[in-house]
Amino acid sequence: MKVETRKEEIIKTSTILFQKKGYSAVTMRDIAKVMGIKAASLYNHIDSKQEILSNIIISLAEEFTDGMRVIMNSNDSSIDKLSSIVKLHVDITSRNTSGMASLNNDWMHLKEDLDYYLKLRLDYEDNIRQIIEQGILNDQLQDSNAEVMLFSMLSTLRSLYIWIPSKEDLNPLELAKNLNKVLLTGIIK
């Protein structure tokens, strides 16, 4: 029975507002109003608006990094690794759909943590690229443009947050299975 601290409540509320209008268009008074308090009261729990954004984005980015580390340390085949990445995205996005909006659209408003975030993202992409290139070498993947594969897969996975909320009937496991099929084998018969 996890008791949510007031700070966590503020971050959760902000996450939902940031998803709807983006970081810049949401004011501290907006956040306070939803919480039922005055804007100044927020500062009993957080240091700045920037801290809220940082918290949302960095914690998610680190979740991805942690998940990727496990995958890279496994002895799975390239294809199994890619499947695990799909599952990782579905899992994290299902649990924090709103936060994924900030991760995708508001990262450029980070100040102190911008460089750190960019490094995490770059490393993450490099890992997927490595898996794909390995898969081509091993003859598991088609020998076409690896960058296009990487881009297509990552685009789909990064957009999940837009799509998951409207498909609540589909459970994460089922979704991951379907996504895997489409991403790996395409749509043509």
Q: Total binding residues for DNA by CB under 7 A? A: 21
Cα(first)–Cα(last) distance of the chain, in Å? 49
Sequence-distant (≥ 6) Cβ neighbours of residue 12 within 8 angstroms: 4
Binding residue for DNA (CB under 7 A) from 16, 34, 37, 162?
37
Which partner from the list DNA, a copy of itself, none does 129 bind, CB cut-off 5 to 8 Å by kind?
none
* Nearest residue (CB) to a copy of itself, 70 versus 184: 184
Question: Does residue 61 belong to the site contacting a copy of itself (CB under 8 A)?
Answer: no
Residue 123 CB partners (closer than 8 Å, separation 6+): 65
Question: Which among a copy of itself, DNA, none contacts residue 43 (Cβ within 5 to 8 A by kind)?
Answer: DNA
Least distance (Å) between residue 59 CB and a copy of itself: 22
Burial 137-168 (b: 16+ CB within 10 A, else e): eeeebeeeebeebbeebbeebeebbeebeeee
Contacting residues toward DNA, per CB under 7 A: 5-6, 26-29, 32, 36-45, 47-50
